[in-house]
Amino acid sequence: MADTVLITGGCGFIGTNFVRRMLERYDYNIINLDKLTYAGNLENLADCGNNDRYTFVRGDVASVDDLEKVFAKPIDIIVNFAAESHVDRSIIDPDSFIRTNINGTFNLLEMARRKNTRRFIQISTDEVYGSLGSTGAFHEDTPLSPNSPYSASKTSADLLATAYFKTFGMPVIITRCSNNYGPYQFPEKLIPLIITNALADKELPVYGDGLNVRDWIHVKDHCAAIDLVMHKGETGNIYNIGASNEKANIEIVKLVLAILGKPESLIRYVTDRPGHDRRYAIDSGKITGQLGYKPSVDFAEGMRETVEWYVDNREWWERIKTGAYLEYYEKMYGSR
């Protein structure tokens, strides 16, 4: 019988892309456990609803009761995407980050230990390493030095996952990826926020001097790397994932404006994010050398396609940018 893979947070940006990849390429039975927070959107996977290998369960990784129900059936592999994922929200209201990212991961690890799950992939982030100066890159053994409540919660989850490997011999693997872009990203993150604001001729808020650097990877390449780790990765290991596309934020904003043919006068420099990490850069040498990983999406092409996706899927983001989103936007940017 085909294995059952539990994907948590499958209605979010990366989870959506990963669920699709798994259904397309393998005969796994997929259970998508998602709480459907503001960031989770059932519509993203509406076309998978008729697939009899796909089951959606609305539930909370921080609730042991919800997990007991899912684990009533055997689960072979867990891929844990579920998280509160936005740094700015973690600065305004960190509680849910502790609950989901730390307690949720702990609950999943405990459940996997009790049920002898064969493989546990913890989806982490390069933000656990903190901030770089103008040179160098994050390696898997770079000391952990998180600066935001978000990254501190992700670091805590990583430490729990590592402890479960060392103490209980649990088959845990951690991946740490750089900034993703691509279709279905919630328009609170830089790239979709800039694209959708520019399409509506709204101001584009750039934090600080706009020279903070992020290392961008297309979500498809991130999902391909997780797939490799899931099938070929060595238990107890950490794998950094990136695509060597370091860009200052202002370059990204100007690129989006150029693709859309919109004026740079839309740019507005605003008060910086507190504790704002200056630069991220990922060294993917380990996953490249050991597992044969190679990113496939050219950055310029990937950005053009991503902008096109938001142009073509206006209804998707216009529905999101109402009600609670507008309240969030006003709170975050209103008096900045």
Report which secondary-structure segment, H or E, holds 174: strand 172-177
DSSP state of 128: G
Specify whether 150 is catalytic: yes
Of 34, 60, 84, 126, the active-site residue reads: 126
**b/e burial code for range 50-74 (CB count within 10 A of at least 16 → b):** eeebbbbeebbbbeeebbeebbeee
Nearer to ligand TDX by C-beta: 85 or 240? Answer: 85
Residues that bind ligand TDX (CB under 6 A): 85-87, 125, 127, 179, 189-190, 193, 205-207, 212, 214, 249, 273
Give min distance, CB of 36 to ligand NAD, in A. Answer: 5
Contacted by 87, from ligand TDX, ligand NAD, none: CB < 5 to 8 Å by type: ligand TDX
Which runs of consecutive H residues, i.e. helices, occur in the chain?
13-25, 64-70, 87-92, 95-97, 105-114, 149-168, 190-199, 219-232, 249-260, 285-291, 299-312, 314-320, 323-333
Coil, helix or strand at residue 96? helix
Q: Does 61 bind ligand NAD (CB under 6 A)?
A: yes
| Candidate segments 12-20, 141-149, 262-270, 313-321, binder of ligand NAD by CB under 6 A | 12-20
Q: What are the structure tokens assigned to 278, written together? A: 């200056």
Count of chain residues binding ligand NAD (CB under 6 A): 31
User: CA 109 to CA 90: how far, in whole Å?
Assistant: 23
- Listed residue (124, 110, 121, 23) closest to 61, CA to CA: 110
Q: Answer whether 155's CB lies under 8 Å from 128's CB.
A: yes
Number of Cβ within 10 Å of residue 154's Cβ equals 29
Give min distance, CB of 234 to ligand TDX, in A. Answer: 23
Give min distance, CB of 207 to ligand TDX, in A. Answer: 4
* Site mask for ligand NAD (CB under 6 A), range 138-157, x = bound: ----------------x---
Q: Does 183 bind ligand NAD (CB under 6 A)?
A: no
Nearer to ligand NAD by C-beta: 2 or 64? Answer: 64
DSSP state of 44: G
- Listed residue (239, 250, 249, 191) closest to 219, CA to CA: 191
Nearer to ligand NAD by C-beta: 266 or 328? Answer: 328
Contacted by 15, from ligand NAD, ligand TDX, none: CB < 5 to 8 Å by type: ligand NAD
Contacted by 81, from ligand TDX, ligand NAD, none: CB < 5 to 8 Å by type: ligand NAD
Nearer to ligand NAD by C-beta: 45 or 198? Answer: 45
Q: Does 39 bind ligand NAD (CB under 6 A)?
A: yes
List, by residue number, the catalytic residues.
Answer: 126-127, 150
